[in-house]
Structure 1
Amino acid sequence: MPSLRTFLAGDLGGTKTLLALYSWDEKQLKQQHRRRYLSNQWTSLEPMLSDFIAHLPGEMEQPNNGCIAVAGPVRHGEARITNLPWSLKEKDLCAATGLKHLELINDFGVLIYGLPFLNDSQQVELQLPQQHLSGQGPIAVLGAGTGLGMARGLPTKDGMVALPSEGGHREFAPRSECEWQLCEWLKADLQLERLSLERVVSGTGLGHVARWRLQHSDADGHPLRDLADAWRHGADDHSDHLDLPALASQAASEGDSILQEALQLWLAAYGSAAGDLALQELCVGGLWVGGGTAAKQLQGLRSSTFLEAFRNKGRFRPFLEQLPVMAVIDPEVGLFSAACRAHMLAEQGGTLT
């Protein structure tokens, strides 16, 4: 018998998919069961979901509602997965699993539903003023990973509403001579007419910033210079054989002055982008910094380099100084957020009190 108080949550990626069952207990979500699947070993999501539900422990109730975060755009209940040959439809997934309602949602936009419910083990404070603006208002999140994700959320009487964004593709606006030189070099190197923000402010962008710095004459003979050239030719396929951003970050932490400069430039550009988003959305409910680099670059996100660039917005500096800013450190925040959304859908259907 399907249950109104258990929820299916999923986080579907090109490499792996996490599926879990959550329950609502004492005003909080609790994970009851979780399985990890290798995505490319399945022909589609339908048989994977059917397998997960068929192999639930015997004492667990089958879910009635679900939400699956997917790595790709979602329109009218249909999604095409970016790095898999899968096309998904909500109605087909419900028919295959017996769920009453299942929602597909973009894997970055889904965070909006989870952010207000994160606990101290899932996030850390970057800026939390003693007297900040009222927390009842819009929220926003950005996150540097392979690209730069952005999303915003508006509170309503029925709960938070997520609004997707492609703000990571807006124009990169240099703020200094260094950033201008980087911009012009990258456009020439990548053969681009315009440079999007995520070409710099992303995990991949950190690799590009490191490459730019390593091509200067004072980096002749640097041990990462040849590796940076090799990474340049493999960066587009996102292969894992050479992780230049990680190598650059490690070298900077070990005192490499050239790569410290690269990391500081990247952090400042990231902070400025975060400040621009906060102004655009007037997110008095809070700004979160997520993505794959958040936990790895936590010290940098807490630094004056990032925070000063975030606040340095002229007449709106006092406003930005009053905003709560957090970093998401939970590697499974997408799964948790999908569970929050599934619970919200059940409540909106009048099934919970």
Structure 2
Amino acid sequence: MALSLVADIGGTNTRVALADDAAVRMNSVSRYRNADHGGIAAVIARYLADTGQDRAAVTGCCVAMAGPVHDGVGTLTNLDWRIDKTVLAEALSAERVAVLNDLQAQGHAIGQVAADDLQEVLPQPSTNPKAAKLVIGIGTGFNACPVFDTAAGRFVPPSEAGHVSLPASIEALHPLLGDLCDAKGFPSVEEVLSGRGVRHLHRALHGEDIDPADVLARIAEGEVAACATGALFVRVMGESAGSLALSHLPFGGIYMVGGVTRAFAPHLAQFGFTDAFRGKGRFSGFMEQFGVSVVTDDYAALTGCANHLSHL
């Protein structure tokens, strides 16, 4: 049984664990603050020292990161770290090495996540097990990845879906666009569908600058202003997810991940996610073919890394 090291690098923390083939040792998971380390090699060295793990016994390494990856090299979106397959191989003397975008890792976890860690939003119709699937992530940022199971194995192509335009069909957004642009003046989906996006949207609607967690707390209390923010957020979420479904035709299901997704999950029905998702004019009925679930497993990216590495 091959022993691997897997890691999930976020904007603030990195989680590291050991895996036996595709199975992550959940009791081996450790979390490290990125600000305390100069790069992923330093985190790996710290993990090996903390656990007493023999470096030579680790034959594989797969890292998921919040940023674009090209040819095994990636730069984190919100952190000045460069992740390189060569650096990982040298840090561990590993034979099998991979670098994935964090959403790609989530895609490789589909089918490995326990049923108890899937919260149904829309029922999944019966379909071919090989049907395409789609992962949508809302957390520090927004992204989406299609998942294809082929004769050659699982293929999860990278994407930067968070940087497409906000949906023009939502008229309530039109007067807010000037307040929802990024630093370059572009109103991307991520400027609403992200942790900072919740803050941006509430400020644009109500002129109040508060923490996203406070917006969620006020929604739970039924505050009118916060609920208006939540309703528009969920509408953008539903319409964007529906558009991605039409682009990729994930008849095998849509899996929504990320901390912001999980925070809004209890409010999706209240704020009309289904109508927003399926409201595609003459294709509204067609949209009933796509099931939607929220993944509540916070370690799914580690599982995806292990599953991907086990097939290399």
Same fold? TM cut 0.5: yes
Alignment equivalent of 2:276, drawn from 287, 291, 309: 309
Alignment equivalent of 1:5, drawn from 2, 7, 27: 2
**What is the rounded CA distance, in whole Å, between the counterparts of 2:158 and 2:114 in structure 1?**
24
**What is the rounded CA distance, in whole Å, between the counterparts of 2:112 and 2:286 in structure 1?**
24
Contact in 2 for aligned 1:132/1:324 (Cα 8 Å):
no
**What is the rounded CA distance, in whole Å, between the counterparts of 2:214 and 2:301 in structure 1?**
26
Residue 95 of structure 2 aligns with which residue?
A: 100
1:321 to 1:73, Cα distance in 2 relative to 1, 3 A: same
Residue 209 of structure 1 aligns with which residue?
A: 201
1:184 to 1:158, Cα distance in 2 relative to 1, 3 A: same
1:294 to 1:321, Cα distance in 2 relative to 1, 3 A: same
Alignment equivalent of 2:263, drawn from 267, 276, 296: 296
1:283 to 1:42, Cα distance in 2 relative to 1, 3 A: same
Contact in 1 for aligned 2:23/2:307 (Cα 8 Å):
no
Q: How far is the alpha carbon of 1:147 from its aligned partner? A: 2.0
Name stretches of at least 5 consecutive residues in structure 1 with no aligned partner: 216-224, 232-242, 346-353
Letter in 1 for 2:104: G
Contact in 2 for aligned 1:42/1:48 (Cα 8 Å):
yes
Alignment equivalent of 2:15, drawn from 2, 18, 26: 18
SS of equivalent residue, structure 2 residue 119 = strand
Larger radius of gyration: 1
**What is the rounded CA distance, in whole Å, between the counterparts of 2:270 and 2:192 in structure 1?**
19
Alignment equivalent of 2:223, drawn from 235, 253, 256: 256
SS of equivalent residue, structure 2 residue 222 = coil
**What is the rounded CA distance, in whole Å, between the counterparts of 1:8 and 1:90 in structure 2?**
13
1:18 to 1:181, Cα distance in 2 relative to 1, 3 A: same
Q: How far is the alpha carbon of 1:73 from its aligned partner? A: 2.2
* Worse-matched range after superposition: 280-289 or 174-183: 174-183
Q: How far is the alpha carbon of 1:151 from its aligned partner? A: 1.2
Deviations 1:99-149 (A, max 9, x none): 1111111122211100222112322111114x4443422111112222211
* Worse-matched range after superposition: 279-288 or 46-55: 46-55
Letter in 1 for 2:165: E
Residue 58 of structure 2 aligns with which residue?
A: 63
1:305 to 1:210, Cα distance in 2 relative to 1, 3 A: same
Matches within 5 A, 1:129-140: 129=124, 131-140=125-134
SS of equivalent residue, structure 1 residue 164 = coil
Q: How far is the alpha carbon of 1:57 from its aligned partner? A: 5.6
Contact in 1 for aligned 2:63/2:100 (Cα 8 Å):
yes
Letter in 1 for 2:36: Q
**What is the rounded CA distance, in whole Å, between the counterparts of 1:78 and 1:143 in structure 2?**
21
Q: How far is the alpha carbon of 1:309 from its aligned partner? A: 0.5
Tell whether 2:167 aligns with 1:173. yes
Alignment equivalent of 1:45, drawn from 29, 33, 40: 40
Tell whether 2:245 aligns with 1:278. yes
1:84 to 1:309, Cα distance in 2 relative to 1, 3 A: closer
Alignment equivalent of 2:110, drawn from 100, 106, 115: 115
Residue 119 of structure 2 aligns with which residue?
A: 124
- State the TM-score, normalizing by the size of structure 2: 0.89
Query: Alignment identity in percent?
Result: 27
Residue 156 of structure 2 aligns with which residue?
A: 162
**What is the rounded CA distance, in whole Å, between the counterparts of 2:10 and 2:179 in structure 1?**
33
Contact in 1 for aligned 2:167/2:240 (Cα 8 Å):
no
**What is the rounded CA distance, in whole Å, between the counterparts of 1:185 and 1:14 in structure 2?**
24
Letter in 1 for 2:117: Q
**What is the rounded CA distance, in whole Å, between the counterparts of 2:101 and 2:56 in structure 1?**
27
Q: How far is the alpha carbon of 1:60 from its aligned partner? A: 11
Tell whether 2:177 aligns with 1:183. yes
Contact in 1 for aligned 2:19/2:25 (Cα 8 Å):
yes
SS of equivalent residue, structure 2 residue 259 = coil
Letter in 1 for 2:302: L
Residue 234 of structure 1 aligns with which residue?
A: none
1:107 to 1:186, Cα distance in 2 relative to 1, 3 A: closer
SS of equivalent residue, structure 1 residue 108 = helix
